Chains A and B, each alone.
Chain A
Amino acid sequence: MIEIRDAKKAFGKNEVLKGVSLKVDTGDVVVILGPSGSGKTTLLRCLNFLERADAGTLIIGDEEVNLHKPSRKQILSVRRKTAFVFQNYGLFNNKTALQNITEGLIVARKVPKAEAIKKAEEVLEWVGLLDKRDYYPSQLSGGQQQRIGIARAVALDPEVILFDEPTSALDPELVGEILEVIKNIAKKGITMVVVTHEMNFAKDVASKVIFMDEGVVVEEGTSDEIFLAPKEERTRQFLKRIIPPEYII
């Protein structure tokens, strides 16, 4: 289980997170929606300390961490319990597909090399890229890179995988296959927090949908609750803008 309590973050005078609280149960797929600039990326980045929050608490498993003043040990510990899938893939450019996956296992999690390679081949097979194991990122398409980014996250076997718009850098025809891969992770029962603009994906897999705007959680609920019967005016406005009319039931 993961819980965030009252996370706050400002960049200078720009208050980006104004006290965000969020609960993610084990096995949950939480989808975060919200207009551009509402603080979705910042929230995810504060969770694994890529960004330092000004205040807030993170509870992950049996560990409680101050989001503003974590110890070095806590930072590493939280990062080793989470995995991040980047919008622009974030693959190590100097490592092959296989090494991209084994690196974190061997170096950070001290998994024996043979075991790490076995695990990496397993997840590469699973995303259908075992034949590309020795390719460098520069030799792979965007869709292939993102599949490896996802495989890397899954191989780490984290308590939660954080996705920041995993499909928004991709050509439209590749979006489907990546969403398919993420749906398969959901079926495995892995806990995920996904920031996305793909409404159909949210409808299909989210066990909980969160609508954020201007640094606060405006509304949260099941996908039916949010898409079919939004309570807040701001949510309705957002959905009207983002979903083509024919989808509104």
Chain B
Amino acid sequence: MGDFFKWSRVWEYFPKILSKFPITLEIVLGSFAIGLVLGSIIALIKINKIPVLCQLGSIYISYIRGTPILVQLFIAYYGIPVFVNSVLHIDVNGWDKMVYVYMAYGFNQAGFLAEIIRGAIISVDAVQTEAGYSVGMTGAQTFFRIVLPQATRIALPPMGTTFITLFRSTALAYMLGIMDIMGKAKNLGVTTFHTLEGYVDATIIFVITSIILEQIFNLLNKRLDYGKGRVVKQRKEVAAK
């Protein structure tokens, strides 16, 4: 039992596990990008109530929200090759495992981001659009210059939360044999028979990164406030007096 856990091993494994941080980051950024694009498309479909696609979007969102990410990972890993092979007749033998990881997490993010984006866009007051029209802007100009910036502002906090959740949920990608932070921690455990130290390192990395991400999102939130922060500050100053 005495040799079960040693801080020296935590120290020794740390750089090895940290060296896989870029893989985790890649998964997070890649999936988030996919989720953002796909999620925006689903959101626009739902806002414009495009028949059939709109219902499919809702079913898709229920699937994503209602099933564990682990199930989605396995479905992507075993299901997509079957689908691509038999329906699209494309050979998937050479595909990297990472492709399935991106798809699983990217599709997962799309489901959550679609709802956030949709909610944010429809919560922008209709008068904002009407004002854009009234000064002679086209629908696209009004959307991209007036509505979208305000929607982005509204979507930012919940997007930050999903992003951090995504970062944490990537810890399951090792199930498909990906050598990311968790993959390396597990791998060190198997090869050295000292399991706990690697997970302690992983914990440290996850906690610190989450805190940093939160700070980044807080900062973004403050910068993009269209003057609201200043008003709050002024009011606080007045209150202090």
Contact = CB atoms under 8 A, between A and B. Distances in A.
A156 B137 CA distance: 12
Contacts of B135: 79, 83, 103-104, 108, 152, 156
Contacts of A93: 128, 150, 226
Nearest to B230: A139
B136 to A, nearest CB: 3
A245 to B, nearest CB: 37
A138 interface: yes
B130 A86 contact: yes
A61 interface: no
Interface residues of A, number: 30
Could you say which of A92, A104, A107 has the most chain B C-beta atoms within 10 Å of its C-beta? A92
Given A50-B130, A91-B131, A138 B226 contact: yes
Contact of A90 (B127, B138, B149): B127
B153 interface: yes
Could you say which of B128, B134, B149, B153 has the most chain A C-beta atoms within 10 Å of its C-beta? B134
Contacts of B231: 138-139
Contacts of B228: 136, 138
Q: How large is the interface on B (under 10, 10 to 19, 20 to 34, 35 or more residues)?
A: 20 to 34
Given A94-B153, A107-B145, A135 B227 contact: yes
Interface string A115-157: 0000000000000000000011111000000000000100010
Nearest to B145: A107
A53 B219 CA distance: 47
A88 B132 CA distance: 14
B136 A80 contact: yes
A183 to B, nearest CB: 22
A109 B132 CA distance: 12
A122 to B, nearest CB: 17
A74 B241 CA distance: 56
Contacts of B133: 48-50, 79
Contact of B131 (A92, A109, A136, A138): A92
A109 B228 CA distance: 30
B149 to A, nearest CB: 5
Interface in B123-162: 127-128, 130-138, 141, 145-146, 149-150, 153
A165 B83 CA distance: 60
A110 B134 CA distance: 15
Given A79-B136, A104-B136, A136-B226, A90 B141 contact: no
Interface of B: 127-128, 130-138, 141, 145-146, 149-150, 153, 226-228, 230-231
Given A48-B134, A84-B131, 12 more contacts: A84-B130, A86-B130, A90-B130, A92-B131, A93-B226, A94-B149, A96-B227, A104-B136, A107-B137, A108-B136, A139-B227, A139-B231
